[in-house]
Amino acid sequence: MSSSVIRVDNPDLSPTSPGEESEAVFSGDYEPEPQPGLDGAPVRWYDADRTESYTRTTPFQEKHDTTVEFFYKPLTLTALACGLVVLAYVAMTQDVLEEGSDKRRVGIYAAIASFLAFSTLQFRDGPFIRPHPAFWRIVLGVNLLYELSLVFLLFQDLSTARHMMTYIDPQLGKALPEKSYADDCSLNARTLWNAIDIFCLAHALGWFGKAMILRDYWFCWILSIAFELAEYSLQHQLPNFAECWWDHWVLDVLLCNWLGTYLGMKVCQYFEVKPYEWRGFRQSKGLKSKAKRVLSQFSPHDFTTFKWGTATDFLHYMCVVLLLAVFLAAELNPFYLKSLLWMEPDHPIVILRLTFVFLCGLPAVRELYQYINDPRRAVRMGQHVWLLLATIITELLVITKWSKGQFSEPLPTRVKWGWAVAATLLVLYPMVQFGIPSARRYLRNHNKKAKSS
């Protein structure tokens, strides 16, 4: 972890602040964490004794400010009572639901609100506790609702899905004209000016978010180039992927993507070196200090630098390749969904989907990084990364099913060769980087044993 925490004896610090907790760790006043396995040997799941310590999983623990203890108390029964009172009032009061109004829409909203309330109170905590653990439980609940919606849509045909979208927005359900951005590729001031629109800002904001999620400069660069190559590969299916060369590599990669990645990494670098000292609100002296404490509640509680280590071992290499594939799928899926469901790129549903994937990606990648690099603490994959992975794959299944008969143009030969070369390089690299050295070490050890015997 690359966050710097002040570890001094300060009476103004909250008793549960990271500084004092860290001092307790160094002083030896803590119970050692249970180690996986039994005496260093792995235990098979069907032989495991569930009463032993090696089967216990320690969840992420809340560290909160005791001066606002009320906001961290469970209050589950109080919330249940209040929720049922509001639900009964809305459902049974004719002033709220007049006779003849559309009660189906209100009923769906009430069901969603009830599910999110349950998520807020009962879901497990993830790696983030700012601004409040309940916020990230709601994010997980929204992800689960979206996944359930995708599972439902997976069993519908495309025409039925298009009709169902009109229940959400009556303006949907109408075919959209195909648009290409490669009609005039002459490089001059007029074409450059015409190419600059609100989507340039969206590009920059999107890559700012990806930098905050991945926290690795070169990973973002590889993903940026890979996405542009994917646009080249799929423009025979989606005409809006057809862009001029300078639109791909100058406006997108070198300008918008680089600017967003650069600013995002600068924010990450700031959080890496920022001193984290969590004083209680009551211990903060003066209005300015109290306001700063309130604003800091919306910043990270601590910050971890990601070192993906692609060339260190085969496990890290495969994780990075799979993470790259999942990110590409998450980027390409909305283009196919909006094309199949006839939605404009700036439709609120598309924007909300991108926003929620960003919020879900923040804790998901953090959980994945800990699962890969700290298996003793994270003995199972986190709930955020598990659910987000299921969501992206379900989107792919929906797109695959609905795409039958929609994209009749065959895959160009040059695209087939390009994918074949890329797949070959992805296989050859680990063989050269990890396979050959492992084979040499095996032969060397074998020869030593043969000589000694």
SS3 state of residue 403: coil
Q: What percent of the chain has pLDDT over 70?
A: 79
Read off the amino acid at residue 103.
K
Per-residue confidence band for 294, with pLDDT thresholds at 50, 70 and 90: confident
With a cut of 80, say whether residue 410 has pLDDT above it: yes
Per the model's pLDDT, the better-predicted residue between 58 and 85 turns out to be 85
Q: Give me the residue label for tokens 């003793």.
A: 376
Q: Which of 12-26, 193-207, 359-373 has the lowest mean pLDDT?
A: 12-26
Q: What is the mean pLDDT of residues 20-25?
A: 37
With a cut of 50, say whether residue 61 has pLDDT above it: no
**130-178: pLDDT as tens digits:** 888 889 999 999 999 999 999 999 999 999 999 999 988 888 888 888 7
Per the model's pLDDT, the better-predicted residue between 94 and 120 turns out to be 120
With a cut of 60, say whether residue 66 has pLDDT above it: no
Q: What is the mean pLDDT of residues 430-449?
A: 86
- Whether 425 is covered by a domain: the verdict is yes
With a cut of 60, say whether residue 310 has pLDDT above it: yes
With a cut of 90, say whether residue 327 has pLDDT above it: yes
**379-395: pLDDT as tens digits:** 788 899 999 999 999 99
With a cut of 90, say whether residue 12 has pLDDT above it: no
- Whether 114 is covered by a domain: the verdict is no
- Give me the number of domains the chain comprises: 1
Q: What percent of the chain has pLDDT over 90?
A: 34
- Whether 217 is covered by a domain: the verdict is no
- Whether 426 is covered by a domain: the verdict is yes
- Whether 434 is covered by a domain: the verdict is yes
Predicted local confidence at residue 229, as pLDDT: 93
- Whether 397 is covered by a domain: the verdict is no
Q: Which of 12-21, 206-215, 316-325, 417-426 has the lowest mean pLDDT?
A: 12-21
C-alpha dist (Å) from residue 420 to 414, 415, 417, 425, 429: 10, 8, 5, 9, 14
**171-213: pLDDT as tens digits:** 888 888 877 777 778 888 888 888 888 888 888 999 999 999 9
- Whether 323 is covered by a domain: the verdict is no
- Whether 177 is covered by a domain: the verdict is no
Per-residue confidence band for 248, with pLDDT thresholds at 50, 70 and 90: confident
With a cut of 80, say whether residue 87 has pLDDT above it: no
Per the model's pLDDT, the better-predicted residue between 37 and 327 turns out to be 327
Q: What is the mean pLDDT of residues 27-55?
A: 51
Structural element, H or E, at residue 4? strand 4-5
Q: CB burial class (10 A; 0-12, 13-18, 19+) of residue 231? A: buried
Task: Mark 413-449 as b/e (b = at least 16 C-beta within 10 Å).
Answer: eebeeeeeeeeeeeeeebeebbeeeeeeeeeeeeeee
Q: CB burial class (10 A; 0-12, 13-18, 19+) of residue 392? A: buried
What are the residues facing 5 on neighbouring strands?
A: 276
Q: What is the mean pLDDT of residues 96-120?
A: 77
What are the residues facing 279 on neighbouring strands?
A: 13
Q: What is the mean pLDDT of residues 14-24?
A: 37
With a cut of 60, say whether residue 417 has pLDDT above it: yes
Count CB-CB contacts under 10 A for residue 326.
19
Range of the domain at 431: 410-445
Angle (CA) 316-319-324 rounded to 5° is 125
With a cut of 70, say whether residue 428 has pLDDT above it: yes
